[in-house]
Homo-oligomer: A and B are copies of this chain.
Amino acid sequence: MMKKNLSKQKVIHAASTLFFQKGFHGTSVRDIAEKAKVNVSSVSYYFNGKQGLLEYAVTAYYEEYLEKVEECLKVTENQSAIERLNKLIFTIIQYKQSKLQLTCFIQRELTLDSIFVREMTVTYLAKENYYIRSTFFSALEGKKLPGDQKDYLLLQLKGMLITPYILHNEWKDRVIGEYSREVFVKKYVATIQKWLKFIVGI
């Protein structure tokens, strides 16, 4: 049938926007259905309910995310640790920017304390953390830093990777208007890399 998945896509798109604006619990399936201009029961039909829709969206997001990260690490296998880290940072920021609303929403939702969040943590975030951590520590190799100092620097790095998607409210004027998304990615990544150069050069 021609219109297969047409409603499904409309639901996903509407849900992304609404979850981003009002949060998961702040959005009703009727809101979604209305915005997507489909029937209420479509959500249950396609995703097994509201929770299923959430799981579908988040899972798809992280599957693709980790795919891109792993590909980046594979391609840069033979390069220097710092070069690898630089390209990893670029890959991550670029992906997040390409799915801006979903990134902001998921980032927010992950700060909650629920069964779902814990599941996502062990399934995806553990992997993500492993990739970033090991790549970063490789780049720090040889630097003699006191014990937990590295962990604080890692926290700093991870913070830089999420900051634009937490403080998006302050930056949306800029990112949408004066700057295009690509320009933002380029400039922001450059800012991180400048910090990185300082850190590994200690």
A-side residues, CB < 8 A to B, are 20-23, 25-26, 104, 107-108, 110-114, 117, 121, 125, 129, 148-149, 151-153, 155-156, 158-160, 162-164, 166-171, 174, 187-188, 191-192, 195, 198
Chain B residues positioned under 8 Å from A23 (CB to CB): 23, 25, 112
Give 15 new A-B contacts, CB below 8 A, not counting A152-B191, A156-B160, A159-B166.
A23-B23, A26-B112, A26-B114, A108-B108, A108-B112, A111-B169, A113-B169, A121-B169, A151-B174, A155-B163, A155-B188, A155-B191, A156-B163, A158-B163, A162-B166
What are 13 A-to-B residue pairs whose CB atoms are below 8 Å?
A23-B23, A23-B112, A25-B25, A26-B112, A108-B112, A121-B169, A151-B174, A152-B188, A152-B191, A155-B167, A158-B167, A158-B170, A159-B159
Q: How many copies does the complex hold?
A: 2
CB closest residue in chain B, given A104: B111
For the complex of A and B, the 3 pairs showing the least CB-CB separation, nearest first, are A159-B163, A25-B25, A21-B113
- Tell whether, in the assembled complex, residue B113 and residue A187 are in contact, meaning their CB atoms are under 8 Å apart: no
Chain B residues positioned under 8 Å from A148 (CB to CB): 187
A158 vs B164: C-alpha distance in the bound complex, in angstroms? 10
